[in-house]
Chains A and B, each alone.
Chain A
């Protein structure tokens, strides 16, 4: 799945200038039709490059200038990877297994997305009904709602339940939207072998770029 250029990559504590450059690079890579996995890995590596260079005492502007415009850098990546693919085309078993894997992942994603979407819809509907119901509860005529039933439905509890359901629905929707687009495309972080496994990063790797669903409608060109 591809990443929308307006998707922003979170870099806690990152410099706005380098963030803007990296966002531009992500967008340029997307325009080059690069896979989300590659975009993430490249942006993360460039993020590290900038941080290392600045830490070494180089001015940020100089570092970014040395990397060149994001569009040119993205083109260089595209050319490098295209060249590679023309040199070593994958064999038919690789393509077959990749296709089968893709179909299986799509079916699984469709199932859990459908269930999640249904649950979100139910929560949102029930939450809305409860919130509106709680607001209009005092004004409902005794002829429509039995007064004894009204006593059993404290207004605050109904409102709170509805609000909680709406919040839950919103969170679920955001989670679904995020995972539907990016979860499967997260780059893996191979830790080589046992030699390096002992030094396996755990802390800051947790900050591996995540993409907030900020105006990130899927665009199919």
Chain B
């Protein structure tokens, strides 16, 4: 697996957390969400992967969606966290923090940190 593939896989796994997080702060529509993610180049996902994920999250009941007018022309589909989505976000955040700590400890070879995350 090349470096780019590895990065893409990691990013794909984290995309759900990032989308839920950004929508947890404020509702948004597809292009706006893609723009928010693009602020951090490491997170910038291809736009073609964001929309299917949004649709999946909506179908899973993690996001609510509604349409609103747009000055750009076609109406916007806004997404925001549902109650189920909020619970999922809390769960994902906890898992991510634990994982990040553990990986960091492992990568740095810090025995104290490894002990702390056990």
A residues with a Cβ closer than 8 A to B are 11, 13-14, 38, 41-42, 44-49, 51-56, 66-68, 72-73, 76-77, 79-81, 83-85, 87-88, 189-192, 196, 199, 201, 203-205, 207-208
Provide the residues of chain B in CB contact with A56, threshold 8 Å.
31, 35
A143 to B63: give the CA distance in the assembly, Å.
78
Q: Which residues of B contact A55 (CB under 8 A)?
A: 71-72
A189 contacts across to B, CB distance below 8 A:
66-67, 75
Q: For the complex, what is the distance from the CA of A54 to the CA of B56, rounded to whole Å? A: 26
Q: How far is the CB of A206 from chain B (nearest CB, A)?
A: 10
Interface stretch of the complex, out of B46-54, B93-101, B108-116 = B46-54
Q: Which residues on B are within 8 Å of A, measured CB to CB?
A: 29-32, 34-35, 46-49, 51-53, 55-56, 59-61, 64-78, 80
User: CB-CB < 8 A to B46: which residues of A?
Assistant: 66, 68
- List chain B residues, Cβ under 8 A from A84: 56, 59-60
Instruction: Report chain B residues within 8 Å CB of A190.
Output: 64-67
> Which one, B31, B60, B61, contacts A49 given CB within 8 A?
B31
Q: Counting chain A CB atoms within 10 Å of each CB, which of B31, B48, B51 scores highest? A: B48
Distance between Cα atoms of A205 and B55 in the complex (Å): 20
Q: Given A67-B47, A84-B59, are A48 and B77 also a contact pair (CB < 8 Å)?
A: yes
Q: In the complex, how many angstroms separate the beta carbon of B43 from the nearest chain A beta carbon? A: 15
The distance in angstroms between the C-alpha atoms of A73 and B49, with both chains bound, is 8
How distant is A156 from chain B, measured CB to nearest CB, in Å? 47
Q: Give min CB distance, B41 to chain A, whole Å.
A: 14
> By the criterion CB–CB under 8 Å, are B60 and A201 in contact?
no
User: How many angstroms between the C-alpha atoms of A11 and B48 in the bound complex?
Assistant: 21
Let me know if B68 and A196 touch, CB within 8 A: yes
Residue of A nearest to B48 (CB): A68
CA distance A58 to B65 in the complex (A): 26
* A residues less than 8 Å from B49 (CB atoms): 76
